[in-house]
Amino acid sequence: MPYYCVNKNAQSNGDHEVHDLTPGACNRLPLAGNQLALGYHQSCASAVQQAKMSYWQSNGCWYCCPACHTS
């Protein structure tokens, strides 16, 4: 089961990206100090829902969570 985090820093459009921390899953991870742990989730969908509790404008990373990335 993948372990996820959300970037504490928003992108220019206001999104806080959710990332899969599984080794090798993503090459666009935020620095460790900018990661808010979301824990283990069956899918990116539940990880994004949890991220929205802290950052209402959260989105899946295009690279490691494409099923949860919205334009």
pLDDT band at 41, cuts 50/70/90?
very high
Residues 1-20 have pLDDT tens digits of: 999 999 999 999 999 999 99
Using CB atoms within 10 A of its CB, is residue 46 exposed (0-12), middle (13-18) or buried (19+)?
Answer: middle
pLDDT band at 71, cuts 50/70/90?
confident
Pair type for strands 3-7 and 16-20: antiparallel
Read off the pTM.
0.95
